[in-house]
């Protein structure tokens, strides 16, 4: 899924149309509010981000995306109407993966999109963390136990990933809730216990690596 954040309707529709005819799924969004709403539902593989937008501009949006752990790794291509070098440099320094200057040809546009997706795919494949017999692949959302794929729900995966990223440290139930379920999650810490239980079960012999620290939370062994 590719999100195209662009306030000019004609351009937005053209971008979405071009991506869809190339075989991608794409969604056009007019401003930062629409983007925020969509990000809560689904994280895209790539964001095309116009700079001059009503309300919050592309630079502000980019900064927010890059400072949030859940959106940090989504590649961003900045779309700028000004050819000034200034915009390009600012965009790249802020963590954009590429930029494209309007007006641009659709062939070039698609080539850029494909190149950025290829790079990010490669990076995410390299993002594999090991923990004993477990290997956790954050890009593919995949866990393997002795090379065999383990079928986890999204929350179970995120829980395991969080514990492994903090290997050796005790994470409190509240920390886990905030990180995995989000700050605005309106639930109980018991949710964490329930997920740890199913996760341990699914991880079989590797499950007892998740240690309960009484009255505090959970820790995964080094
Ligand atoms: Ca614009």
In this structure, are residues 30 and 73 in contact, taking their beta carbons and an 8 Å threshold? no
Q: Could you report the per-residue pLDDT of 176-199, keeping only the tens digit for each? A: 988 888 766 677 888 999 999 999
Q: Distance, CA 170 to ligand 1 centroid (Å)?
A: 46
Q: Distance, CA 217 to ligand 1 centroid (Å)?
A: 47
How far, in Å, are 14, 190, 208 from residue 6 at the CA level?
11, 42, 49
Residue 25 has pLDDT above 60, yes or no: yes
> What distance separates the 2 farthest-apart alpha carbons in the chain?
61
Residue 218 has pLDDT above 90, yes or no: yes
Q: Distance, CA 125 to ligand 1 centroid (Å)?
A: 34
Q: Could you report the per-residue pLDDT of 117-166, keeping only the tens digit for each? A: 998 887 777 777 888 899 998 777 889 999 899 999 989 999 999 999 89
**Per-residue pLDDT averaged across 4-16, rounded?**
96
In this structure, are residues 24 and 56 in contact, taking their beta carbons and an 8 Å threshold? no
Q: What's the whole-model pTM score?
A: 0.62
Q: Distance, CA 70 to ligand 1 centroid (Å)?
A: 26
Q: Could you report the per-residue pLDDT of 43-94, keeping only the tens digit for each? A: 999 999 998 899 999 989 998 998 887 888 899 998 887 666 556 656 566 7
Q: Distance, CA 29 to ligand 1 centroid (Å)?
A: 12
Q: Distance, CA 104 to ligand 1 centroid (Å)?
A: 14
- Matching residue, tokens 């659709």: 106
Q: Distance, CA 120 to ligand 1 centroid (Å)?
A: 26
**Per-residue pLDDT averaged across 95-115, rounded?**
88
Q: Distance, CA 41 to ligand 1 centroid (Å)?
A: 24
């Amino acid at each position: 899924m590719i999100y195209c954040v662009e306030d000019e309707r004609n351009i937005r529709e053209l971008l979405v149309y071009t991506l869809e005819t190339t075989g991608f799924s794409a969604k056009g969004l007019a401003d930062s509010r629409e983007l925020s709403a969509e990000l809560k539902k689904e994280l895209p593989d790539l964001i095309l981000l116009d700079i001059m937008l009503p309300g919050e501009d592309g630079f502000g949006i980019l900064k927010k995306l890059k400072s949030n752990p859940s959106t940090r790794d989504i590649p961003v291509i900045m779309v700028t109407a000004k050819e000034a070098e200034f915009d390009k440099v600012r965009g790249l320094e802020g963590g954009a993966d590429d930029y494209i200057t309007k007006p641009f040809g659709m062939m070039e546009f698609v080539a850029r999109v494909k190149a950025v997706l290829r790079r990010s795919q490669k990076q995410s494949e390299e993002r594999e963390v090991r923990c004993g017999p477990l290997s956790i692949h954050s890009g593919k959302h995949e866990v393997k136990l002795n090379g065999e794929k383990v079928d986890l729900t999204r929350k179970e995966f995120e829980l395991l990933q969080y514990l492994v990223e903090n290997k050796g440290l005790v994470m409190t139930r509240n920390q886990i809730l905030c990180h995995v379920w989000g700050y605005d999650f309106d639930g109980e810490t018991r949710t964490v216990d329930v997920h740890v239980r199913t996760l341990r079960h699914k991880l079989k012999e590797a499950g007892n690596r998740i240690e309960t620290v009484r009255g505090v939370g959970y820790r995964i062994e080094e």
